[in-house]
Structure 1
Amino acid sequence: MTAIRTVELEGHIIDSGTLQQAFGLVMDLGGDFEVEEFNVGRSKTDTSYCRMDVTAETEDDLQEILHELHQIGANLTDAVDAHVERAPADQVVPHGFYSTTNHPTKVRYEGEWVEVDDIEMDCAIVIKETEDGTRAYTKVLNAIEKGDLVVTDEAGIHVDPPERPRDSSGPFGFMQGGVSSERPSESLIEEVAEAVEETKSQGGKVLVVAGPALIHAGAGDDLARLVREGYVDMISAGNGFATHDIERGLYGTSLGMDMETMEHPRKGHKHHIYTISEVIRAGGIAEAVEEGLIQSGIMYECVQNDVPYVLAGSIRDDGPLPDTITDAVEAQGAIREQAHKADMVLMLSTLLHSVAVGNCLPSTTKVVCVDINPATVTQLLDRGSSQAIGMVTDIGTFVPTLADKVLGENTATDGGEDDADGNRDTGSHRGDGHGDGGSPGGHCPGR
């Protein structure tokens, strides 16, 4: 017996290729479709609309097709409530639970459409009645509790992917190009700088996801400048990033290499483990700053300026630093908390952390991923972070150029005054709430 359901797509579905992708998905999965209504936008800014019947040989086959169509924003036309079931046990979801996309999502429950909070991909949706009304929100599987009301099937769910009009206007602007090493880096970095400044001027938060290659490439001082001047609100990294940043301040090396001469000094290969030992002796990064052990660098500026950071550990970490979260599930939770607060994310030369943070981001968050290896950016896009723009370039060139473009005009023309220590007071773009989420290292008294 043939199974049939009606779906609709609306928006810039032609310019973005969504319509062609939907047709392809149906055919690739052995289904068929018949277009009932198709209205084409007549200008660059006009949207298009398509309603079509999707058929398959069995209900199970149809559900598989509908699930894939949902991932790209095709929604069922039926005005029905979402199907819900109670979780039978902790960390156990009902069969056929709805697995989320990272796009803005609504759930129809008891006749009302409810916005899903904290949307991210590959989660379950939980419905909860509160004093203020019905709330829908995402939960990762290991956070599911027995009795949670979990949404199943695609019925009663509306997914709204960000629009990408042909004229590159809208919330993404320049972020239309995917991965490219051919586009002019200078002009693109300037657009990234403008996006950072716009995010901050609107009260948004910028999250930096960074790998140790940033330190090795000599870009640490420039990222520290951005932290100090209030253009970075949160940092997500690993044990190696923080270790080599601190190592550079203590020994002038990064992974044992002298950052000035590019030579390997005697016993330089031991500097990173000496660094970890000294920070452990002090009790943590903030304590090491307070006692004067750490006097410069990115982690120093984070502590001095109340910029929260998450250092997520891995099985290959040396030490690790006391601030490194070694429990993987705990680290995921800390990363997720940061990601949900971010309005723009800069992913700088780190594959694993970029993918981890990318998995937690809604598709409405601006993302810029920079790496010398195109595979890093490609893998991020393949995981579903379609909102990301990728730049294949040297991180040692990108970060200093970005810092110059963001800070150069301000520091040259701000008319600030020198303080008692002879430091230039250029003013800060830091807003309230920079301690949100709390830094593992805590807060140190000012210099």
Structure 2
Amino acid sequence: MTVSREVELSGHIIDSGMMQSCFGVIMDLGGSFEVDEFDIGRSEVEESYARLTVLADTEDELQSIVHELHQNGATPSHPVDATLEPAPGDQVVPSGFYSTTNHHTEIRHDGEWIPVKRIEMDCAVVVEKGEDDEPCAYTKVLNAIEEGELVVTGETGIRVRPPERPRNREGAFGFMQGGVSSERPSESTIAKVAEAIAETKREGGSVLAVCGPALIHSGARESLARLVREGYVDMLSAGNGFAVHDLERDLYGTSLGMNTETLDHPRKGHKHHIYTISEIIRAGSIEQAVDEGLVESGVMYECIDNDRPFVLAGSIRDDGPLPDTITDSVDAQNAIREQAHEADMVLMLSTLLHSVAVGNCLPSSTRVVCVDINPATVTQLLDRGSAQAVGMVTDIGTFVPMLVEQLLDE
């Protein structure tokens, strides 16, 4: 005896790959399906629709299939309201709570679909009365859940909409189709990244740069500082090490003891980074060091001088750390989360640790460019599920200066 469930797909389900993915899920998990209705969109703006009957041998197998289909954008043909249960305690969610994806999500409440605000992966969904006494749904990390809050449980009454692949490749973001390759022509790809940044700025959007220390070591410091100064980078997310090496370059002309122009290692250069930390601690903060004239150049200088907000998230291996570094990991996550939700485009520049941290907070529709010399880093970051992302395997010390040239027409 078989069991069945009826589901629907709608949107650009053919060229986005959604329909193919759902067919694959059903077969991979041992189920079968029948196509009951299929209407094909016959223009670039017309959407398609499919209604399927999914069959499996047992209810458990069917539930597993439906769960995966749900993650790929399928919805029940006859939706009901989402199930809400009160949180039994602070930081405690009800059993079987719905864990979010990073895709646009809606929940059904009182017979109406309402969007889930501030969407990000691996969160709970809380529903409460908002302005004008209207229901409001939003994500909340588990450690922020408060006793009594109404949390969505199960998977009924939830609609997930993965981003659809653009139907043409025109415009600045037409090239952002996911994937990564070291075979791509770097110059042409960088030109398209520059165009995407410029378009984001023209539309009033914000660009977040997520940076690793390798950017300073590779000699790209001055180029990134210029992007901050010229307004192409609105926010910065990095670690203690990035800021230390940037400041060290200003105070001592070295990065982790090496002159990034001559590649020489001056005497006692290996102590420069710890001397730098000491000087900034003595000043009180990076901002005070800039105000006192102690620091006169670099990425952190431009952030202070041009009022660009930054988050320095600490780690267990940090020296010092700098006074501005957030050493509490939960506080650092919350600060990163606020930045991520403000960003319209993110440049992930040669850092796996901080890029993953930021990536986990991004909705899948946020445009992402990931650049690293290690292809495994780029692949891992793009695999997080963003459809509006492009990866480049190249030297960050080459990429950033070329990006500046393209943006500033030099």
Distance in 1 between residues matched to 2:321 and 2:32, nearest whole Å: 55
Asked if the contact 2:205/2:343 (under 8 Å) is kept, the reply is yes
**Secondary structure at 2:402 match in 1:** helix
Q: Which residue is 1:81 aligned to?
A: 81
- Post-superposition shift, 1:168? 2.4
Alignment pair present for 1:109 and 2:109: yes
Alignment of 1:127-206 (within 5 A): 127-132=127-132, 133-169=134-170, 172-206=173-207
Alignment of 1:337-356 (within 5 A): 337-356=338-357
> Aligned partner of 2:22: which letter?
A
Asked if the contact 2:178/2:386 (under 8 Å) is kept, the reply is no
Asked if the contact 2:365/2:387 (under 8 Å) is kept, the reply is no
- Post-superposition shift, 1:203? 0.8
Distance in 1 between residues matched to 2:25 and 2:342, nearest whole Å: 34
Q: Which residue is 1:311 aligned to?
A: 312
**Secondary structure at 2:404 match in 1:** helix
- Post-superposition shift, 1:161? 1.7
Query: Which piece of structure 1 moves more, 47-56 or 135-144?
Result: 47-56
Q: TM-score, normalised by structure 2?
A: 0.96
Asked if the contact 2:219/2:261 (under 8 Å) is kept, the reply is no
Alignment of 1:283-298 (within 5 A): 283-298=284-299
Distance in 2 between residues matched to 1:25 and 1:141, nearest whole Å: 29
Distance in 2 between residues matched to 1:242 and 1:204, nearest whole Å: 25
CA shift in 2, pair 1:359/1:145, >3 Å: same
Give RMSD over aligned pairs. 1.7
- Post-superposition shift, 1:381? 2.2
Cα offsets for 1:255-286 (capped at 9, x unmatched): 11111210111111111111111111111110
> Aligned partner of 1:124: which letter?
A
- Post-superposition shift, 1:357? 0.6
**Secondary structure at 1:323 match in 2:** coil
Q: Which residue is 1:398 aligned to?
A: 399
Distance in 2 between residues matched to 1:60 and 1:124, nearest whole Å: 23
- Post-superposition shift, 1:79? 3.1
- Post-superposition shift, 1:177? 4.4
Q: Which residue is 1:8 aligned to?
A: 8
Q: Percent identity?
A: 73
Asked if the contact 1:163/1:170 (under 8 Å) is kept, the reply is no
CA shift in 2, pair 1:4/1:16, >3 Å: same
CA shift in 2, pair 1:234/1:43, >3 Å: same
Q: Which residue is 2:50 aligned to?
A: 50
Asked if the contact 2:97/2:151 (under 8 Å) is kept, the reply is yes
> Aligned partner of 1:213: which letter?
A
> Aligned partner of 1:400: which letter?
P
- Post-superposition shift, 1:97? 1.3
Alignment pair present for 1:272 and 2:273: yes
Distance in 2 between residues matched to 1:2 and 1:137, nearest whole Å: 37
Query: Which piece of structure 1 moves more, 267-276 or 22-31?
Result: 22-31
> Aligned partner of 2:28: which letter?
D
Cα offsets for 1:294-340 (capped at 9, x unmatched): 11000000001110000001111111111110111110000000000
Q: Which residue is 1:282 aligned to?
A: 283
Asked if the contact 1:45/1:165 (under 8 Å) is kept, the reply is no
Distance in 2 between residues matched to 1:296 and 1:128, nearest whole Å: 48
Asked if the contact 1:66/1:154 (under 8 Å) is kept, the reply is no
Query: Which piece of structure 1 moves more, 381-390 or 350-359?
Result: 381-390
CA shift in 2, pair 1:164/1:60, >3 Å: same
> Aligned partner of 2:33: which letter?
F
Distance in 2 between residues matched to 1:217 and 1:371, nearest whole Å: 12
Alignment of 1:317-336 (within 5 A): 317-336=318-337
Q: Which residue is 1:96 aligned to?
A: 96
**Secondary structure at 1:7 match in 2:** strand
Distance in 1 between residues matched to 2:61 and 2:125, nearest whole Å: 23
> Aligned partner of 1:354: which letter?
S
CA shift in 2, pair 1:396/1:144, >3 Å: same
Cα offsets for 1:389-416 (capped at 9, x unmatched): 101111111101111111236xxxxxxx
Q: Which residue is 1:418 aligned to?
A: none
Distance in 1 between residues matched to 2:168 and 2:129, nearest whole Å: 42
Instruction: Structure 2: give runs of 5+ residues left out of the alignment.
Output: none
Distance in 1 between residues matched to 2:35 and 2:80, nearest whole Å: 22
Asked if the contact 1:359/1:385 (under 8 Å) is kept, the reply is no
Instruction: Structure 1: give runs of 5+ residues left out of the alignment.
Output: 410-447
Q: Which residue is 1:59 aligned to?
A: 59
Cα offsets for 1:53-89 (capped at 9, x unmatched): 2233443333322222122211222231111111111
Asked if the contact 1:82/1:152 (under 8 Å) is kept, the reply is yes
Cα offsets for 1:20-49 (capped at 9, x unmatched): 221221222233322211223445665432
